[in-house]
Structure 1
Amino acid sequence: MAYTNDAVLSKLSALNESHESIASTAQWIMFHRRHAATSVQLWLAKLKELPSSKKLNMIYLANEVTQQSKARHKEDFLQAFSPYIAEATTLAYTGANADIQNKLRRVVDVWRDRNIFDRQIQDAMEAKLDEIDKARSTNKVGAFGGSRSMFASSASLTPSLPAELTPLVAPAQNLSKSTPNMKTAINTANTEFDKLVDPANPPPAPPVQAARLSGLLKTLAMAENLVSESMKNRKELVSALEKILATNKEALATEEVHFNELTTRKAVIEAKKQEVELAILGGNNSIKEQTPGDRMSCSPVPEPERPQVEALTPPHVQNHHEDDIYGDLGNPQNGNDANAAPPPVFQQERQFPSATSGIEILSDLASHYQTMPLNGSSKKRKLGTSNDEVFPDLGADDGIDADVAEMLRKDS
């Protein structure tokens, strides 16, 4: 079939998900590699028109063409797909279900592992896919009330991995990614091989048979590459496991030495404990075997002498202040002189009005004054015949001020 735009669109419209359809279409497009740029533009235009389920087939076709070109060192289609592959992958990824998105992710991972496209193109493509995933997760959170706890990923719920198992993560992840593609490629290659070599099937025409053989060779080569990649990942995983195994064997040997040492020490301590217990039991038996006479003959233990205790009551100290106050009369508190006169009792000073006469003042004082001996004398004296007041003898000058005496003289 001659190369025309309609022929290319016809091939793309007839494309299905079977490997045979994808491989035959890729061979026809690669045969006309001189029109690589036109074929890629028509491919992108057709991809935009197809639904999500059909867009995956277009990505598979691009994968077949680019990988075959890379293997044959033909750069025509690699250069033609590079400007559009990120956009095409994003279009196929947007709005697709989880199964299709996972398949697209596996194709993108294969491109990265085999360096099909430049690193910048690969990074840009993966960044766009990550943005779509992030936007989808944000929309889910908003739709369900902003709670992330119920929709958290399984990785966030997984407990932290021990440090010694960290080297196993990368090989295990690579192996898990490559295994599904490898199994699919092996099944496809085996199926096509059985069909082609089955003697029950009549041989086709030589040109058709040559094309089928060529397609089978490519299928076998792809399966071989996937198996080789899986073997590489598995060898890395086995190597990491062997290192962990060697480390754990060394740790186990050290722990066994510690275990034997602790067991030996435990046995020694148990034997010593039994020896001490037997010694204690032997001492008790020897005490019980003593006769009563032996016990009575034992001299009692002498009691220790009582310690000398200093008296707590201090001796009496003479109060010299009392001697200064009482003099030869003795201290009334000690009871030395029972006949000693009591101390004088002083009455509170009385207040008188300013208009009171001297006689009235003296009369009032005399009525409240206690009779007491002064200077050893107890004589009394009359001050006047009119009042018959009796006053104590106050001494030679009677203890009266000159002003008071003058007042008394005038009143008399």
Structure 2
Amino acid sequence: MSFSSEQFVSKLTKLEDSQESIASASKWLLSQHRDAPKIAECWKTYMLRNDINSRRKLLGIYVVNHVVQQAAGQKIGHFQEDFNKVIEEVLTTTFPEFSSDIKKKIARVVSIWKSRGIFSRPTLNKILVSFEKNKNTNDSDNVKLPPKIKPIVETIKKIERTQVNLHAMKTRFDNSVNELDVSSVVYDENFKTITKISNLAKDTIASSINERNGLINLLSTMIEEQNKLIVEEQTMASEIDFVLTAKDPANINNKDKTDEDMLPTYETAGDDNYDSDSDSDSDSDSENGNVDNVNKQTTSNDISLDTANALEQMNALAQENKSKRSIDEVERDDNSNNGEDKNDAKRAKEDDVYGGEEYEPASHDSNEEENATDSNNVTSSIQDLLSKLAN
């Protein structure tokens, strides 16, 4: 039966981390000893692939270790010679990418080869020297990680280990199902065995899911924390910009100039263009238009609105009193003229009776009393207004 590289790669991909799986793959390779050069080259190509994880490459090294030692015991020298040509390149190239625990396992395998003389001494010495130079290269255990990152790294490592076991259990289950023969007399026993394998596979899947959920929680917490820190830092940047803007000399000079431009200017009483009466009247009219919305306002001459109203009432009252007095004087003059005519006629008669002596009545004129009363009322009204102004 000729060697098939696809079949060999399939066996390497389905390898489990167990002695039984390693021995089974090695037995198949020993049966293909005539194609040892092809097997070595195929193995080299597989081991140098970037898409093969570290755990899978470790299992590939275990297979070679088992094959070359079994071949040495069976006096089959083809494998030692052909793998000796590729083993140095594979190990020196892949060793730096392994974690510390995998490096220790590989170094132990190489030390066994050296002690048993599996490969040539020069080849093994070159491999060991390379190991010494690169034993700390890309070693995540020797890198000082921030405290917040360490839980995430540890969780990822657990997931990777679980993933290797998961694929191995799934492969074992698939192979067992394919080998199950319904017509076999031990079908029931084989089915029970497959059921146990399936339970182990499901337990491994559940463990992997739990680890991934834990990783998601860690990452979500970190993302939330980083978002809060971003907001805080943006606020700090805004505060810095605000302070710089406030302290900028150009802005300060502009602010001073603006303040000067905003200062009010007032016309003096001595200005020829200043008309205090017209300004007062216009301001009073403007203020009276808003009297319903303001409890207390002032005129343009800094006189309260209540005071202005009171003065206006006093002025109106004085004008009314003046007008009333004028009317009373006119009526009094008319009455006086009419009275003088009547008095002259009466006096002529009295002169006849009393011998011409002039009579002076003792009573006061009623118009003078009314004028006095009106004057008192005006005075009282003015006093009331003055009292309001005082309050």
- TM-score w.r.t. structure 2 length? 0.34
- The structure that is helix-richer by fraction is 2
Q: Which structure exhibits the higher relative contact order, with contacts defined as CA atoms closer than 8 Å and separated by 6 or more residues?
A: 2
